[in-house]
A and B are shown apart, each in its own frame.
Chain A
Amino acid sequence: MRLFDIKRYAINDGPGIRITLFMKGCPLSCVWCHNPEGGSPQPEKLYTRKKCMGCQACVQACPHQALRWTEEQGIVTDRARCVVCGRCAAVCPAMAMEISGKDYTFDEAMREIEKEMLFMDESGGGVTFCGGEPLMHPDDLAEMLDRCGELGIHRAVDTTLFASEAVVRRIMARCELFLVDLKQMDSDKHRAYTGVPNEPILANLRMIAEAGMAFWIRIPLIEGVNADEENIARSAAFLSSIPWERKVVNLLPYHDIGKGKHEKRGSIYNPQHLPMAAPSADTLARCIAQFEAQGITAVVGG
Chain B
Amino acid sequence: MIMQTETTFSVSRYATEFVPSHAANNYGMNARIKRLRQQSFEAEPSLSIERALIETRFYQENEGKYPIPILRALNFLEICKRKTIYIGEDELIVGERGPKPKSVPTFPELTCHSVEDLHVLNTRDLQRYTISEEDIETYAREVIPYWQGRTQRERIFNHVPQDWKEAYELGMFTEFMEQRAPGHTALDGKIYQYGLLDLKERIAKALSALDFMNDPEATDKQEELTAMSISCDAAILFAERHADLADELSLTEKDPKRKAELLKIAEVCRWVPAHAPRTYWEAIQMYWFIHLGTITELNGWDAMNPGHFDQHLAPFYEREIAAGTLTRDEAKELMSCFFIKVNNHTAPPKVGITAKESGTYNDFTNLNIGGIKADGSDGVSEVSYIMLETIEELHLLQPGSAIHVSVRTPERFLRAGCKVIRQGHGYPSVFNPDVYVEELMRQGKSLRDAREGGCSGCIEVGAFGKEAYVLTGYLNVPKVLEVTLHDGLDPVSGRQVGLHTGDPRQFQSYEELYAAFLKQIHYFVDMKVRVSNYIDRMFAKYAPATFLSLFIDDCIAKGKDYYNCGPRYNTTYIQCTGLGTITDSLSVLRKHVFEEKHFTMDALLKAMEDNFVGHEPMRQFILNRTPFFGNDDDYADEIAVKVFDDLYEAIEGKPNTKGECFHLNMLSTTCHVYFGKIMGATPNGRLAGRAISDGTSPSHGADTHGPSAVIKSLGKLDQTKSGGTLLNQRFMPSLLKRDEDIAKLASLIRSYFALGGHHIQFNMVDTETLHAAQRCPEEYRDLLVRVAGYSDYFNDMNADLQADVIARTEQECF
A residues apposed to B, CB below 8 Å:
7-12, 16-17, 34, 48, 50, 53, 55, 57, 93-95, 115-116, 118-119, 122-125, 218, 250, 252-257, 259-260, 263, 301-302
Contacts and interface: CB of A to CB of B under 8 A. Distances in A.
Given A17-B708, A301-B738, A94 B744 contact: no
Interface residues of B, number: 42
A123 B788 contact: no
Nearest to B747: A123
A26 to B, nearest CB: 16
A93 B789 contact: no
A260 B796 contact: yes
A255 B707 contact: no
Given A119-B751, A257-B801, A260-B798, A12 B744 contact: no
Interface stretch (B327-335, B455-463, B616-624): B616-624
Contacts of A95: 620, 624
A268 to B, nearest CB: 14
B632 interface: yes
Contact of B801 (A8, A11, A260): A260
A9 B708 contact: yes
A123 B754 CA distance: 12
Nearest to A118: B751
B706 A93 contact: no
B789 A12 contact: yes
A148 B617 CA distance: 41
A30 to B, nearest CB: 13
Given A11-B791, A257-B797, A118 B624 contact: no
21 contacts: A9-B708, A10-B791, A11-B744, A11-B791, A12-B790, A17-B748, A53-B617, A93-B621, A93-B624, A94-B620, A118-B751, A123-B744, A123-B751, A124-B747, A125-B744, A252-B789, A257-B788, A257-B797, A260-B796, A260-B801, A301-B738
B83 interface: no
A257 B800 CA distance: 9
Contacts of A253: 788
B747 A16 contact: yes
Given A93-B618, A93-B624, A301 B748 contact: no
A263 B800 CA distance: 12
Report which residue of B619, B620, B711, B738 has the largest number of chain A beta carbons within 10 angstroms of its beta carbon.
B620
Contacts of B206: none
B66 to A, nearest CB: 60
A116 B624 CA distance: 23
B743 interface: yes
B755 A301 contact: no
A10 B735 CA distance: 10
Report which residue of A10, A48, A94, A252 has the largest number of chain B beta carbons within 10 angstroms of its beta carbon.
A94
Interface string B698-722: 0000000111110110000000000
Contacts of A250: 789
B787 A255 contact: yes
A259 B625 CA distance: 27
Given A55-B616, A119-B748, 5 more contacts: A94-B620, A122-B748, A122-B754, A124-B747, A259-B798
B750 interface: yes
Report which residue of B735, B741, B791 has the largest number of chain A beta carbons within 10 angstroms of its beta carbon.
B791
Contact of A9 (B616, B619, B706): B706
A59 to B, nearest CB: 13
B373 interface: no
B258 interface: no
Contact of B800 (A125, A252, A259): A259
Contacts of A119: 708, 711, 747-748, 751
Interface in B762-814: 777, 784, 786-792, 796-798, 800-801
Interface string B44-65: 0000000000000000000000
Contacts of B801: 255-257, 259-260
A295 to B, nearest CB: 22
Contacts of A93: 617-621, 624-625
B596 to A, nearest CB: 13
Contact of B706 (A7, A124, A257): A7
A34 to B, nearest CB: 6
Report which residue of B711, B750, B798 has the largest number of chain A beta carbons within 10 angstroms of its beta carbon.
B798
B737 interface: yes
A90 to B, nearest CB: 10
Nearest to A34: B790
B806 to A, nearest CB: 15
Report which residue of B712, B747, B750, B787 has the largest number of chain A beta carbons within 10 angstroms of its beta carbon.
B747
Report which residue of B616, B707, B788, B798 has the largest number of chain A beta carbons within 10 angstroms of its beta carbon.
B788
Given A53-B617, A93-B621, A9 B748 contact: yes
B280 to A, nearest CB: 37
A256 B790 CA distance: 12
A15 B732 CA distance: 20
A94 B786 CA distance: 25
Contacts of A48: 796
B619 to A, nearest CB: 8
A201 B738 CA distance: 30
B621 A263 contact: no
Contacts of B618: 93
A252 B788 contact: yes
Contacts of A9: 706-709, 748, 784
A302 B747 CA distance: 18
Contacts of B621: 93
A263 B621 CA distance: 23
Contact of A8 (B706, B787, B788): B706
B98 to A, nearest CB: 47
Contact of A115 (B712, B755, B792, B800): B712
A8 B707 CA distance: 8
B737 A11 contact: no
Report which residue of A11, A16, A250, A301 has the largest number of chain B beta carbons within 10 angstroms of its beta carbon.
A11
A184 to B, nearest CB: 18
B791 A122 contact: no
Given A7-B706, A260-B798, A301-B738, A122 B789 contact: no
Nearest to B712: A115
Contacts of A125: 744, 747
A301 B735 contact: no
A253 B743 CA distance: 24
A11 B632 CA distance: 19
A8 B754 contact: no
A150 B754 CA distance: 24
A139 to B, nearest CB: 28
Contacts of B755: 118
Contacts of A50: 777
Contacts of A218: 789
A93 B778 CA distance: 13
Given A115-B709, A302-B738, A12 B791 contact: yes
A219 B125 CA distance: 53
Nearest to B632: A115
A257 B787 contact: yes
B632 A12 contact: no
Nearest to A278: B788
